[in-house]
Amino acid sequence: MTLTASWKRPVGRRIVLGMVTLGFAGIAFGESVQRFIGGAISKVSPGGGGLASLIPGANSFRIYTVTDSFPSESTQDYTLKVTGLIDNPTTYTFEDLVGLPQTSLTKDFQCVTGWRVPNVHWKGVLLSEIIKRASVQPRAQAVLFHSFDGVYTESLTLDQASRNDVIVAYEMLGQRPISSEHGGPVRLYVAPMYGYKSCKWLSEIELSDKVIPGYWEDLGYDVNAWIGRSNGRSDAPVDGA
C-alpha cells in the first residue's frame, strides 16, 4: 500500500475549511457580487420573471404569502370596499377602478429582506384619488388596508397615503390584471417604502383615526417603512429609469 502513497495530505479538511472560508467571504462581500449579477440579468430580463427568477443573484421577485394558500379572485368577482370615517362609502369593481384616472409609475420594488427588482412598471389609481372621492371626515388620520387573504393588514398615515407615488395598482410588469402570486387582481404599491407596505390582494381601504401596526409590524418591522431610513437599512431610493 506504500507504492503510490508517496505523500498524504488532509485534502478533505482543506476542502471543508476552504468552503467555509468562501462562505464567510460570500456573506460579507456577496452583496456586491449579487448587485453585479442582478444588474446584468436585469438588462436581459427586466422584472426578473420566468427563468431569470431561478438564477441565483437575479433581481427577481420572491413570492411571499402569510397564509396557507394563495388567495385568488377573478376580476369579475373582485370588489374594493372603501369604509370607515368617510361620508361616501363605496364599493369599486375592477372595471370601476380601471375607469378612474390612471397613473403609471416605473420604480423599483425593494424588499426589507434585501432583494430588489429594478424598474418595475406599475399602473393604477392614485390612492389619494380614491380617498378624495370618499369624502373623508375630519377625524380621519390614517388609512388601513385589508387583504382578501383574510389575515394581512397594513396602514399609512393620511399624509403618506396622499403622496403621488402611492397607488392602488391593477397592472404590474405589463400584466393586467396583476397575477395572483403578485397580489392581483388589485394590490397596493407604496413606492417609497419597503415591500411589506404594498399590501397584496387588496380588498378594503378603511379610513381610521389612528395607524394600526400591520402584520409584519406586529412582528418587529418599522411602521414608517421608508426605504433607506428604517429597519436599520441604508438602501438607495427607488426612483427608476
Provide the binding-site residues for other proteins, judged by CB under 8 A.
Answer: 1-13, 15-20, 22-24, 26-31, 33-34, 37, 53-54, 56-57, 61-70, 113-115, 180-181, 231-234
User: Among residues 44 and 54, whose Cβ is nearest to other proteins?
Assistant: 54
Nearest to 97 by CA among 185, 190, 198, 197: 185
Look at strands 116-126 and 103-110 and give their pairing. Answer: antiparallel
- CB of 157 or CB of 221, closer to other proteins: 221
CA distances from 141 to 136, 156, 158, 211 (A): 9, 9, 5, 8
Rounded to a whole number of angstroms, the minimum distance from the CB of residue 12 to other proteins is 4
Task: Please report, for residues 100, 125, 178, 201, 223, the alpha-carbon distance to residue 77 in angstroms, rounded to integers and kept in the order given.
Answer: 18, 19, 15, 13, 31
**Three cell numbers at 205?**
381601504
Measured from the CB atom, the residue of 101 and 232 that comes closer to other proteins is 232
Write down the least CB distance from residue 237 to other proteins, Å: 16
By C-beta, is 92 or 194 nearer to other proteins?
A: 194
Compute the least distance from the CB of residue 152 to other proteins, in Å. 12
Least distance between other proteins and beta carbon 14 (Å): 8
First to last CA, the chain: 67
Q: List the grid coordinates of 102.
A: 390612471
